[in-house]
Amino acid sequence: MVKVVAIGGSLRSDSYTHQALQQAVDRLNALGAEVEVLDLRTLNLPFCDGGDNYSDYPDVARMQKAVTEADALLLASPEYHGSVSGVIKNALDLMGFEEMAGKVAGLISVLGGQSNSNALNDLRLIMRWVNAWVIPEQIAVAQAWQAFSPDGKLLDEKLSERFDRFAQSLVENTRKIRGVN
């Protein structure tokens, strides 16, 4: 079974990023993947100081363990000022090769304005730097404030179909690269 850790890089309680993440999580679950969502809104993580001793923060060890044991990562970030959120960057900085090398990663960005690929490109760079494998499919949810219904469902059928293909690609590529069923 493919094991996925999903991380959303927004701290807002009504986050469109988490709604997009949930769309992917639901599809991954439907494909038989085991998905653990690490909600950065509930974890007590320090700012990364470049060191490796965060013993005062048990959630760092919890996050590192979950990612180490996963086959794949699902990362979602709002795009802030043309890049990823500081929240997801910090979480990723608290990990390294030991946790992420060889993992398969799927990337989602959420924007208030028009779609672009800045946050996705930055996440792709970060993942490549730690020797993770990023699937070619990626999702950018533009004008997120009008992409979801009040109950968190996608309003655009084509975008919904892209999420289907994205989840399928993450599972299939993880099976191939990681050798899991």
Tell me how far CA of residue 4 lies from CA of 69, 116, 142, in angstroms: 9, 26, 25
pLDDT tens-digit profile of 4-61? Answer: 999 999 999 989 999 999 999 999 999 999 999 999 999 999 999 999 899 999 999 9
pLDDT digits over 150-167, tens only? Answer: 998 999 999 999 999 999
Please report the pLDDT score of residue 45 as a whole number: 98
- Name the residue with higher pLDDT: 158 or 112: 158
Owner of token pair 């794949």: 72
- At residue 167, the pLDDT reads 98
Please write the tens of the pLDDT for every residue from 115-156.
Answer: 778 999 999 999 999 999 999 999 999 999 999 999 989 999
Q: Are 119 and 109 in contact (CB under 8 A)?
A: yes
Q: Tell me the CATH number for domain 3-178.
A: 3.40.50.360
Note the pLDDT of residue 154. 95
pTM of the complete model: 0.96
Domain boundaries, the chain: 3-178
CB atoms within 10 A of CB 153: 13
- Rounded Cα distance between 26 and 56, Å, is 34
Number of neighbours of residue 159 by Cβ within 10 angstroms: 18
Mean pLDDT of the chain: 96
